[in-house]
Every structure is written in C-alpha cells, then in structure tokens.
Structure 1
Amino acid sequence: MKVKLGNQNIVILCWTFLLASPISCDSQSQSNKENRVVHTKTNSKLLKFTTSIRSFLEDNKRNIWFGSDREGVCLLHNGKFQYFTTENGLSHNQVRNIYEDKNGVICFECGKGLSIYDGQKMSIYKERNYDSTKQWKLGDKDIWFKGDEIEGYNKFEKDTTQ
C-alpha cells in the first residue's frame, strides 16, 4: 500500500522528527552509547540537514524553503527535496532568513551576503552600501538586510524596469 504525503504533511513529519529525536535518546544509559552501531538509510522523502533549521518560508507557489545553520537551503517542491549550497551559487551555507518579494523572487539572507533566486539562477549581492552615518531610506522595491557579522547593512534595489 502506498501513501502519498502532501507538502504540509511532510513539513509536520520533519518538525515532529526534529522535536522528538533529542527526547528519545535521553532515557538510554551512558554506557550503551560508546558501543552502539548505527545503521542509516537514505530516504529522498526526508530532509537531510544535520544542523538546525534557522528559517523557513512557504512561497506563493506553495513550495516550502528551509534555511539551515550550516548546510544551505532546501526546497520542498512536489514532494521532492532540492538543495542549494555555496557549490551551486549560494553566498554562504548559513541561511538566517528567507523572504519572497511580490514577483515571487526568493531572497536568502546568508552569512556572507544576500542570495537571490529567480527560479532559474542564483545571484549573490555582497556589496555593503550602508553604514551608520547615512540615513535609512526605504523605497517600494528595496530590501535591507544584514548579511554577515561585519558592521553595516546591505540594500538590494530591485530594477524598476523589470
């Protein structure tokens, strides 16, 4: 018998697993932990992050995006996971926040700048164009973000001709 899970059910299962896994090991004794052999199976239906999830977003197409602490971004689309890291265009593997603009462009606030995914390609914006001596000015198409630990902020100005 096959069971088809929707995106919402997969998200619930992922969160349940993340919340329950630390609790399930607490009751085992310390002496058993050294000699335990662990067997794992790779399942494409499970999120494969090993670090914490810092952010998530459901976009206007009902896709779910997960931003990890050290392993990049995962997109859940039609029940399948797709991963984005520095190897395929993300500015840094630490994803602090995920945003979507009104045109459906996905923005990732990463450890070293802003990464923009337009559905086809990933673009990186690392240029710092704000410091504390300037005034904040927010336009209708602007996104302000803190992309790393260095003082200052970045402003992404969307091209108004698009």
Structure 2
Amino acid sequence: MIYILLILALNFSCVEKKSTEKEVKNSELVISLKADTLKFTSGIRAIFQDSKGNYWFGSHNEGVSFYNGKSFEYFTTNEGLSDNQIRSIQEDKSGKIWFGTAKGISVYDKGKFTTYSTNFNNPRYEWNETNGDLWFYAGEEDGINRFDGINLNYLIFPKPKNKKPDTTYGVTDISKDKDGKVWIATYGALFNYDGKRVNIFDNEKLNLKDNELLHIRSVLADSKSRIWIGNNGIGVLLKKGDAITHFSKEQGKLIPINEFEANTKTQQFAKNTGLQSVFAIEEDSEGNIWFGDRDSGAWKYDGKTLTNYSMSDKRSKPMIWTIYKDNKNNLLFGMADGNIVKYNGKAFEKQF
C-alpha cells in the first residue's frame, strides 16, 4: 500500500509540474507578442477604444493589436482569432471585446478567445424574431450576423426587385442613428432596420442613373439625422429625410465614370483626385463630416465648404481604411500603410 501511495504521489507531482510548465509557456508566449511600437504594415481596418481607455487596432491581414498606454500586444489566429483580417471591433455591456473578421466572429474575455461560426444552413427571414445590439459582417453572403447574447443569428436581406445576377450583399459598414435604427451598407444596396421591418435603398431608391453603379463601402448616420453613403466609384450620396442628393457630384468632385473605371482596371489610382472612392465616414465633435478616400486623402465638410487634405505626397499608400473618434474626441485615421494618424485641428500627425 505504501508503494502504491508513493507511485500515485509521484504521478500527481509530475502532473502538477506539467501543468505549471504549460502555464509558464503560455505566459511567455503572450510576453513575446508585446512591442513598444505598432508594427502593422498591411493597413488599419478598424480602431476601437474600450470603456477602460485601452485601444484595439484591427489590421488588414495581421490580426489585432491591444494598446494599454504603455505597450502593444498582438493577437492572431495563433492565439485564437478566427481570422487575421479584422472588419470591426465592438464592446458589449459586460466588457467583452468582439471582433468581426473575414471568416467568423471572435470574442476576447479574460485572456481567452471564443469563436462563433455562422449557420448559413439555418437562416432567418423574420428579423424581429431576434434581438441584440451586436451586428457583424457575414461573409460575401446575402445577410448579416446578429448576436443575441447566446446565439449568432444569420439574417437574410430582402432583395431589391431589379436585382442583377452579379450583385452581392456582403456587409461593408454599419451605423446606428439616434433613434436606434440600424443602417447597413452592402456592396449592392443600403438596408435600414427599424426594429420591425427592413427597408431597401437600391439604385432606383437612391435616384441613380444607369451608369452610376452602387458599390457602397461606408455609411454614417450623423447627429443631424442625415445619412451619408460612401461609394467606391460614384462618391458620396446624402439622404436628408426623404430627399436624396448626389453630394460628390454637387460639389464637383467626381471624375468621369468611364475614366474612373479605366483607372480601376489599370490600378492607376493616382488619377482620382476627387471624392470618389470613399471607404470611411465619421463626424467630429464639432459636427464636421470627414471622408476617407482610397486615393485622394481626407476631406472635411463643415456644412458649407468641402476641404481636401491630400496625403499622397507624404505616404506611399494614401488610402484611408477607417476614421474613428476616440473617447477624448480625437479623430484617428487608419491608413493602408499600417500607421494611425491624428488630426490635431491644423494638421495630421502620427499617433501610433
């Protein structure tokens, strides 16, 4: 009996040692992923500051970086992310951080990642049968993900009547207005959900001509209840109440469509100097509306004047992926070269 107890004690000791070694190894792995500077080079697609003041930066294909004010910590698929391309970052009421990626949704809580996958085989058509404040990109499918606190629900978009065969409805941006309505930008149409029904804004509803094709990349519901719609190709559309205007065209900031299409096909984007390829829209603390263009830099509209801040002479990749207003009302611009710049009221300066 003594011999058996001795063997059991030795085995338990070995298990304890292995468990400790595993914990130390995980701790060392986290430490090895920390740095003093932001080291992304593939572009910043999402910026978020959480309720504790920490920053989270989502890259185009290098995962996520967490900044606590002192150092940057990095997370990729190796640490549990569902994909390294980050489309959105949100925080729920309990402080969990949610990442919408190109291939699923991941949530970070107490040092661990949990991944949720969409059930495309069981889509929902009645949106009002679900609830939840967290909305996510659902791949290049025909719907959107909505998390109700327990389950991830895949909701199908109602299709426009004149839907073209090659039209896709992958979600590109989401904005909530002050009445709680959700505005969902997709490549082929803008959708609005008011809690009861889904409204469609397609080419016809947005008063577009036959050669003005929707390719929506951004949407913003501002403090004045205006809806700004940013396109890759035809610039910005503006919805005020029931009235819809072609903002970029009115401002005289569009090059001819045929010339733009030629530039797109040949990758000669530098010829686009107008407000034409708008991937990001944000409102600052003074009510100015900011646009981030793929080619021509940042634009500010103060209600009367549209001002361009070109970045092409300063950066090898002038594209602005995202614009974010942080907890101190700083306006941060996520650039395609992996840097984050801040507008200080007079000029742009590197922030991270």
SS of the aligned residue for 1:65 comes to: strand
Tell me by how many angstroms 1:142 deviates.
4.6
Tell me by how many angstroms 1:78 deviates.
3.7
**1:86 partnered with 2:66:** no
Letter in structure 2 aligned against 1:90:
L
Equivalent of residue 124 in structure 1, options 115, 124, 144: 115
**1:156 partnered with 2:147:** yes
TM-score for the superposition, normalised by structure 2: 0.31
Alignment of 1:62-141 (within 5 A): 62-128=53-119, 131=123, 134-137=125-128, 138-139=130-131, 141=132
Looking at structure 2, the residues matched to 49 and 150 of structure 1 have their Cα atoms a distance apart, in angstroms, of: 29
TM-score for the superposition, normalised by structure 1: 0.64
Looking at structure 1, the residues matched to 125 and 144 of structure 2 have their Cα atoms a distance apart, in angstroms, of: 11
Looking at structure 2, the residues matched to 147 and 50 of structure 1 have their Cα atoms a distance apart, in angstroms, of: 25
SS of the aligned residue for 2:78 comes to: helix
Alignment of 1:33-44 (within 5 A): 44=35
Looking at structure 2, the residues matched to 57 and 65 of structure 1 have their Cα atoms a distance apart, in angstroms, of: 5
Q: Is the 8 A contact 1:128 1:153 kept in 2?
A: no
Tell me by how many angstroms 1:147 deviates.
3.3
Q: How much identity, in percent, do the aligned residues show? A: 43
Q: 1:87 to 1:147 in 2, by over 3 A?
A: farther
Q: Is the 8 A contact 1:128 1:152 kept in 2?
A: no
SS of the aligned residue for 1:50 comes to: coil
SS of the aligned residue for 2:88 comes to: strand
Looking at structure 1, the residues matched to 145 and 136 of structure 2 have their Cα atoms a distance apart, in angstroms, of: 5
Q: Is the 8 A contact 1:128 1:155 kept in 2?
A: no
Structure 1 unaligned segments of length 5 or more: list them.
Answer: 1-42
SS of the aligned residue for 2:35 comes to: coil
Tell me by how many angstroms 1:79 deviates.
1.0
Tell me by how many angstroms 1:77 deviates.
1.4
Tell me by how many angstroms 1:136 deviates.
1.4
Structure number with the higher strand fraction is 2
Residue equivalent to 2:135: 144
Tell me by how many angstroms 1:126 deviates.
1.2
SS of the aligned residue for 1:70 comes to: coil
Larger radius of gyration: 2
Tell me by how many angstroms 1:82 deviates.
0.7
Structure 2 unaligned segments of length 5 or more: list them.
Answer: 1-33, 151-352
Aligned residues between the structures: 115
Letter in structure 2 aligned against 1:49:
F
